[in-house]
Homo-oligomer: A and B are copies of this chain.
Amino acid sequence: MTSDKLYENIREKRSFLCVGLDPDISRFPDSVLETDDPVYEFNKKIVDATSEFAVAYKPNIAFYEALGSGGWWSLEKTVEYIRKKHPGIFLIADAKRGDIGNTSKRYAKAWFEDYGFDAITIAPYMGHDSVMPFLEYKDKWTVLLAVTSNRGSADFQMTIEKETGLYLFEKVLRQASRWGHSDNLMFVAGATQPEMLGRVRAIVPEHFLLVPGIGAQGGDLHSVAEHGLNDRCGLLVNSSRAIIHADESDSFDYVAGQKASMIRDEMAGILKDRNLI
């Protein structure tokens, strides 16, 4: 998907919501647990109930990997279902991969070609040759970690470089924005640190940012919009638990739809205020 198409979808749906498909089986109602593939059934219902309000879905791969080979099967089926029933959705594999070039090539092939995701999250620690193989795919996206939403983000991401006075995450943004461009590269910038989000935006004014941390992790949407929006929206804001596990009864999908609809309404207001729709 191109950034033009992504922006078009955002305007059409009046939403820059990404729903995190991080299914926690212990929170499934019995009616789902009793099916042959509970994770797939759960995802299907969540997607059907929320796709009107979301432009993107982001399965965190850990949740599938933790289930062994069966989990991968559920993931494959989920992707297939979204592609078939909800075309136009932007699909992000939240995998946080990154390895030597030879290995990253395999990951890129797996996630982009075989699974058919539009984007994958990548950790920057291993440098350019761990990232480049992902950038070689046309109309596919690398989403590089810059500032994450967790407490540990302060440990290394905020290291100040002697030579430049930049934070490490700023160095990551500067270097990586030379490896790719705003049509194949996004960055992760956590909602829990809005002032850092402003610093990210200052270095990469045109790139899309994937913003986790709204909802259960405590980030605030208006603050994210204030520091992160650009003239083509430039944001995908993710919410997982606060939508998909808002309710644990048989009405979980209905409630998820309501939650997503409320966030969409807030987003529509923000986009309107900025004259983006």
Contacts and interface: CB of A to CB of B under 8 A. Distances in A.
Interface stretch (A4-12, A124-132, A194-202, A247-255): A124-132
Contacts of A34: none
By Cβ-Cβ distance, the 5 closest A-B pairs, closest first, are A127-B152, A127-B155, A69-B72, A66-B110, A129-B152
B171 A159 contact: yes
A171 B150 contact: no
Contacts of A22: 103
A251 B172 CA distance: 46
Give this chain's copy count: 2
A70 B73 CA distance: 9
A76 interface: yes
Contact of A99 (B72, B96, B127, B155): B96
Nearest to A241: B102
Contacts of A165: 162
Given A69-B72, A71-B72, A129-B151, 13 more contacts: A68-B110, A68-B114, A69-B73, A96-B97, A100-B150, A125-B145, A125-B148, A126-B152, A131-B152, A159-B161, A159-B171, A160-B162, A162-B165
A91 to B, nearest CB: 16
Interface of A: 22, 60, 62-63, 65-73, 76, 96-101, 103-104, 106-107, 109-110, 114-115, 123-131, 145, 148-157, 159-163, 165, 168, 171-172, 175, 217
B127 A153 contact: yes
A155 B168 contact: no
Contact of A96 (B109, B123, B163): B123
